[in-house]
Every structure is written in structure tokens, then in C-alpha cells.
Amino acid sequence: MTRPPITPATAGEVFSLIRAGSATTRSEIGKLTGLSRTAVSARVSALQSIGLIADDDEGPSTGGRPPATLTFDNSAGLVLVVAIGRSRAQLAVTDLSGAILTAEDIDKSVGVGPDELMPEIADHLTSLLARIGRPPSEVIGVGLSIPGTVDVAAGASLDSPMMSGWDGVALAPYLASVTDAPLFADNDANVMALAELSERRESAPNLLMIKASTGLGAGIVLGGVLQRGSLGAAGEIGHTKTAAAKDVQCRCGDVGCVETVASGWALVHALEAQGRDVGHVRDVVRLALDGDGEARRLIRTSGRLIGDVISGAVNLLNPEVLVIGGDMAEADELFLAGLRESVYGNATALATRSLHIVSVSHGAQSGILGCAVLVLDNLLSPREIDLRIAGAAR
């Protein structure tokens, strides 16, 4: 059988090696790609022409003149980040490595619509850019996350019981006054999964990210690739039926969903029914950490009930790691203890043999970092870099 010809590495593929730190000199690029010295120089020059690669300090010498070290210039652009939740929106500006340069939170009323919230977000993003003294022209993209199912192509919510009035509303036009850079939108649990994948790409290419906050959701990564499903609805675990919620009405309009007994809003309602002064799941977590017996019981039970549901997903997907994030993860071992009890008790011994159940790597910043990864994975991919170079050469 005739083998297809080997395609030489493109400038975009060379950039990926430099960005990942796999190659830091021209000679290393040549060894890894098989490109000639001339071809390597041409690709490096093309990357330098669009401002992404710089010659840094000289590398170690092996005799003769030390080689120049090639580095990814992560200051060559900015990413705007917007992570919208039920009661707050987290905003940030990052560099091209995803490092946060400045950030702030906006408290918002439950049920606020896009016509009210998005102009406020635009104003705050403009202020954040001014705070660091950088112009909007440096923004290469905007990453935005919202709860529920997202129409990634349209940049809009597709179906979210938590975000009434947002479904089908394109969000990019609201930010036109800030930047004309492209907007990338996704589900909140998905972007958190991307943040985890960026930390664990080699050790855990198969991971299950659970966001346990006001609502419940999951991000699924298999073979190093985020899985959204045919309609973008993969990971909507909060509306999985459970016997513990039999006949209990859910905010989605159905009955029996695990969210009705295990989500943050269910825990808040349970304490409110007892006359307790709580307004958000963060209040419940705070009470639990302060030693409140009922809050502690509710959070551990929540972990156990969520574990009952996701143990089936562990059997089905066999991930290396199960990552827990969201406000309830702030209760740390209290919540994880109940979840571990159910997962290890209900999933198969083989599926859990090497399974690690851990808290999210970046804490409360996981969502905004994931939004940055969403943009960077799209705009700094080899294909996009090659297209950018081709466009600059015209």
C-alpha cells in the first residue's frame, strides 16, 4: 500500500511547539519537525511578522555562538472574559497565556435579562482595559460562559431554566462598543472543564468536570477533546431523574430531577423553609464551614445524591479524574465525602480503580480561566495561525 506523502510542518504547527515549550531554538524545531534550517527560519520569520514569537535570551551553548531562544510573546494581545452566573458575573482581562491581568465581579439580580446586564458588562470591560492602560485594538477575542445549553455557533443561550429571557439572544452585538474581536460562548461547566484540561492534558485526557453550585452541570473531556453532544446539551446532569426527588417539581418544569434535592437552590430553599436567613448557596457553605449542623448535613447529602447520579457516568466514560467545582466545592471535604461515598459505592470497581476525585484546580477563578482557554484554543490553533499569516501576506 502506498503511503500518503508526509506534509511538512506549517508555521502554525511550529508555533504550537514554541507555545508549549516543546522547542525553544531553531535547531530543536528542525529536529522535531524534520524541516531544513531554511524552512525553519522561514516559519519563524512568519511568526515574528505577526508578533507572536520573539528571540529571547541566548540559550546554552554547545560550542560556538549560543543559539537564540524562541519564546511565545504572551503580551502580544489580550482576551476579555465574561463568566455569567445566577447572581454574579465575573469579568477579567488576560494575556495570551491566560494569565489574569485585572478582574472584577458584578453582583446581579436573579432573573435580570441581557438588555439590562450586557450593557453594564460592556461598560465594565471598557473600564478594565483602561485600568491596565491597554487599548481595545489589542483584544483578539472574547470568551463568555453562561449556565445551561449554549448554541456555540450563534453565541447565544439555547436552553437555560436559570436564565429566563436569554435563549436565542446573540450576545456579541452587546459588546460591539468594546471590541469587534470574535466572541466565543459556551456552557459554564464546559469552560471549567477546559481550564482543567489545560492543567491535566498529559495526565488526564479523559476527565469529568462537575459544577455544583446554584444548578448542576458537567463538562466531559474524552481523548483530550471537549464533548458537547449533538445539540450542545451533553453534561446536563442536573435534570437526571432520581428516586430521591420523586414527584418534586423542578424549575425546568419537569419532576424528579436531582437538582430539586441536591443543587444549591434546593439547599437554600430547604433552609429557608426552616426560617433560616440564606439567599444563596454560598451562604449555606459559609454556615456549614462555621459548624452549623443542618447546613453540614444538607451539603454532605447533596454530595451523596450527586454521586448517585454521576456514578453511572463514571461507568460509562471511565475518566482518570473527576473534578468538582462550583460554590459547593468550597465546602471541600464535607461535600466530597458524600460524593466519594456514592461514586465508589455504586460505580464498578474497575472504573474507580485509578479514579481520582479532586477539587477544581483554580477555585473561584476556574470559570474565567476556562473562558480564556476557550478563546486561546480557537485563535491560537495551528490552523488559525496559518490563516493569520496568509492574511498578513496579502
Shared domain for 220 and 355, answered yes or no, is yes
Considering 28, 50, 73, which residue would you say is the last residue of a domain? 73
pLDDT at 61: 52
Q: By C-alpha distance, which of 199, 191, 88, 197 is closest to 144?
A: 191
Q: By C-alpha distance, which of 243, 245, 88, 97 is closest to 162?
A: 88
Do the domain assignments include residue 4?
no
Do the domain assignments include residue 196?
no
pLDDT at 58: 55
Structural domain that includes position 164 = 78-191+368-389
Do the domain assignments include residue 62?
yes
Name the amino acid, one letter, at 326: G
> Which residue pairs from 54-63 have beta carbons closer than 8 angstroms and sit at least 24 positions apart in sequence?
59/24, 59/25
Shared domain for 63 and 117, answered yes or no, is no
Counting every residue, how long is the chain?
394
What b-and-e string marks burial along 290-314, b requiring 16 or more CB atoms within 10 Å of the CB? eebeebbebbbbbbbbbbbbbbebb
Instruction: Give the three-class secondary structure for 109.
Output: coil
Shared domain for 54 and 87, answered yes or no, is no
How far is Cα 333 from Cα 127, in angstroms, rounded to an integer? 38
Shared domain for 244 and 303, answered yes or no, is yes
Do the domain assignments include residue 229?
yes
- Interval 263-301: pLDDT, tens: 999 999 999 999 999 988 999 999 999 999 999 999 999
Q: Is the pLDDT assigned to residue 2 strictly greater than 70?
A: no
Shared domain for 205 and 335, answered yes or no, is yes
Shared domain for 83 and 50, answered yes or no, is no
Counting residues of the chain whose pLDDT is more than 70, the rounded percentage is 95
Shared domain for 180 and 258, answered yes or no, is no
User: DSSP labels for 173-186?
Assistant: GGGTTT--S-EEEE
Shared domain for 236 and 331, answered yes or no, is yes
Q: Is the pLDDT assigned to residue 85 strictly greater than 60?
A: yes
- Interval 322-346: pLDDT, tens: 999 999 988 878 999 999 999 999 9
- Interval 152-195: pLDDT, tens: 999 998 887 777 789 899 999 999 999 999 999 999 999 999 99
DSSP state, 375?
Answer: H
How far is Cα 370 from Cα 372, in angstroms, rounded to an integer? 5
| Number of domains, the chain | 3
> Which residue pairs from 35-38 have beta carbons closer than 8 angstroms and sit at least 24 positions apart in sequence?
35/8, 35/9
The CATH number that applies at residue 123 is 3.30.420.40
Q: Is the pLDDT assigned to residue 59 strictly greater than 80?
A: no
Do the domain assignments include residue 5?
no
Shared domain for 234 and 157, answered yes or no, is no
Q: Is the pLDDT assigned to residue 71 strictly greater than 90?
A: yes
Shared domain for 90 and 171, answered yes or no, is yes
What is the pLDDT of the chain when averaged over all its residues?
Answer: 91
Q: Is the pLDDT assigned to residue 258 strictly greater than 90?
A: yes
The CATH number that applies at residue 41 is 1.10.10.10
Shared domain for 240 and 358, answered yes or no, is yes
Do the domain assignments include residue 3?
no
Name the amino acid, one letter, at 26: R
Shared domain for 64 and 152, answered yes or no, is no
Do the domain assignments include residue 2?
no
- Phi, psi at residue 68, to the nearest 5°? -75, 140
